[in-house]
């Protein structure tokens, strides 16, 4: 169970003392109203503090990536100010990444340290501060239905065709089991995606797989297959990967 201490929830000490005093002195009938007030969205100052304490060390005070991170980490921290970030990073994707991390990169998950509202608050701070003009599609405030989302443009993936494409094009890096341990994996850094990693299974749904196969992944050796495969082929291989390696452990089926 997550701690409810003031320090952990990033509530200023003076605010916490005022809240506690108000609860102790208020008539019983007022306590529910005070409890409801305590769940209001975090102030911008609280969001800024979370960013400074948890994010700026790698992403920098300006959102462009700290110098030491760009020079020392195995994968360069995301520059939130770029056009590709504004286009690629939806709010929902960022919430999933902050909560569960980015497997295969130095980006850790903060889901065990931050409450859901704190994760949402720091994501909104980043988007408002560094990502002006970011694409606002996919703005759900939680991850409900995340793994039920389908491919773009009404595409439907064919599992069997995707299996054939995967074993022709993907096992050299991702391996026959999807564990990222194919013959070429030992010469690649960062290592290819391990689809069996529980954290990976949390963040990959059909649209994310489709985009990753189509556009490649910045900072990794994953190429953009849209130059060689048709959209239907990409949907097929993404369907195979999702159902074979992701969905069983994610959905419990």
**Cα separation values, 41 from 31, 97, 115, 120, 205, Å:** 19, 20, 12, 9, 28
| 57: Cβ contacts below 8 Å, ≥ 6 apart | 66, 69
Q: From 22, 199, 21, 33, select the one nearest 110 (Cα to Cα).
A: 199
Rounded to whole angstroms, the Cα distance separating 45 from 230 reads 47
Q: State the pLDDT confidence band at 242, using cuts at 50, 70 and 90.
A: very high
Tokens matching residue 119 = 């994760």
Q: State the pLDDT confidence band at 195, using cuts at 50, 70 and 90.
A: very high
Q: State the pLDDT confidence band at 92, using cuts at 50, 70 and 90.
A: confident
Same fold, 42-143 and 146-251: yes
**Residue 81 clears pLDDT 70, i.e. is over it:** yes
| 214: Cβ contacts below 8 Å, ≥ 6 apart | 224, 225, 226, 231, 234
Reported as a single tens digit per residue, the pLDDT across 35-57 is: 333 445 677 778 888 998 889 88
Reported as a single tens digit per residue, the pLDDT across 3-36 is: 444 443 444 444 444 444 444 444 444 334 333 3
Rounded to whole angstroms, the Cα distance separating 193 from 221 reads 10
The CATH class that applies to domain 42-143 reads mainly alpha
Reported as a single tens digit per residue, the pLDDT across 119-176 is: 989 998 899 888 876 544 444 334 557 788 899 999 999 999 999 999 999 999 999 9
Write down the pTM of the prediction.
Answer: 0.53
**Cα separation values, 181 from 76, 193, 195, 236, Å:** 23, 9, 10, 22
Domain range list for the chain: 1-40, 42-143, 146-251
Q: Name the average pLDDT for the chain.
A: 78
Give me the CATH topology for the region 146-251: Cytochrome Bc1 Complex; Chain D, domain 2 (1.10.760)
The pLDDT value recorded for residue 253 is 35
CB atoms within 10 A of CB 86: 16
**Cα separation values, 63 from 73, 84, 142, Å:** 16, 14, 24
Cα angle 42, 33, 115 (rounded to 5 degrees) comes to 35
Rounded to whole angstroms, the Cα distance separating 63 from 61 reads 6
The pLDDT value recorded for residue 132 is 78
């Amino acid at each position: 169970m997550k701690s409810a201490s003031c320090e952990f929830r990033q509530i200023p000490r003076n605010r916490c003392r005022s809240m506690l005093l108000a609860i102790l002195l208020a008539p019983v009938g007022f306590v529910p109203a005070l409890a409801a007030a305590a769940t209001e969205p975090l102030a911008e100052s609280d969001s800024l503090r979370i960013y400074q304490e948890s994010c700026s060390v790698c992403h920098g005070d300006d959102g462009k990536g700290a110098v030491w991170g760009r020079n020392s980490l195995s994968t360069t921290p995301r520059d939130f100010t770029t056009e590709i970030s504004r286009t690629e990073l939806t709010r929902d994707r960022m919430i999933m990444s902050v909560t569960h991390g980015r497997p295969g990169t130095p980006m850790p998950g903060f889901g065990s340290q931050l409450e859901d509202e704190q994760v949402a608050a720091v994501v909104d701070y980043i988007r408002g501060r560094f990502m002006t003009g970011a694409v606002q599609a996919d703005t759900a405030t939680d991850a409900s239905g995340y793994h039920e989302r389908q491919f773009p443009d009404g595409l439907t993936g064919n599992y069997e065709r995707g299996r054939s494409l995967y074993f022709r094009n993907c096992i050299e890096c991702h391996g026959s089991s999807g564990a990222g341990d194919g013959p070429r994996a030992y010469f690649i850094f960062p290592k290819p995606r391990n689809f069996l990693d529980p954290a990976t299974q949390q963040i990959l749904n059909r649209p994310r797989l489709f985009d990753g196969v189509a556009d490649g992944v910045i900072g990794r050796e994953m190429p953009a297959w849209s130059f060689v495969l048709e959209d239907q082929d990409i949907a097929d291989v993404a369907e195979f990967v999702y159902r074979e390696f992701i969905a069983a452990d994610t959905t419990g089926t």
